Amino acid sequence: MDMPAINLPNIQTKYKVIAALGIIALCLGYYYDHAYKPHAEKIEGLESELLTVEDTLKIIRTLEYSDTKTDPEILSNIKAKKNAVLMGIEKYESKLANKNQFSKILEQIALLSYDVGFDIKALEPKEFTLKQDYNSMSLNMEVNSQFQSLLDFLERLKEMPVFPESIYIEVSERPNLVIRLNLAILAR
């Protein structure tokens, strides 16, 4: 059995051109929406980011390195500052106590408290937490003292190999001051 022949009407050339232009317009619209536009937005964002970085560099050059003219000189100055900061960090980290020395630190704080004239009512370590790069121990103290003794304690605390993370002081007046200290100490 033979297939019947289908006779399609003859499409004029102008309709063929219009259809071809429509298909081309659809393809260009799809390309613009899905390929060109997202990439153009990314490029625009990167260009604005580059401009802000260049502006920041200009500000740094004029404010910080006005005497230096070339980029390699500025870069070497920045590296020197970075190395100095890293040396300072290493110096302080080397003084930082480790986790095993907390009991010795508590003993030193208790001795320091007696030396400055604190009448210790309570001294207790509260919590030991692991921070991003360091350990922290909270210590609660309740003492009877005079205000000058508190100042002496804080001044002498700076000389110890202890780096306070935070100090919370609550003072109540009685014949002597009742002082509650919440001291957080950093360690490696």
Are 120 and 141 a contacting pair, CB within 8 Å? yes
Domains and CATH numbers, the chain: 99-187 (3.30.70.60)
Distance CA 83, CA 3 (A): 88
Which pLDDT does position 27 carry in this prediction? 92
Are 130 and 160 a contacting pair, CB within 8 Å? no
Beta-bridge partners for 163? 186
- What φ, ψ does residue 7 adopt, rounded to 5°? -105, 110
Could you tell me which of 70, 67, 186 has the C-alpha nearest to residue 132?
Answer: 186
Q: Reply yes or no on whether the pLDDT at 58 is more than 70.
A: yes
Q: Which residue has the higher pLDDT, 7 or 122?
A: 122
Q: Reply yes or no on whether the pLDDT at 107 is more than 80.
A: yes
pLDDT, tens digit, for every residue of 9-42? 676 777 888 888 899 999 999 988 888 888 888 9
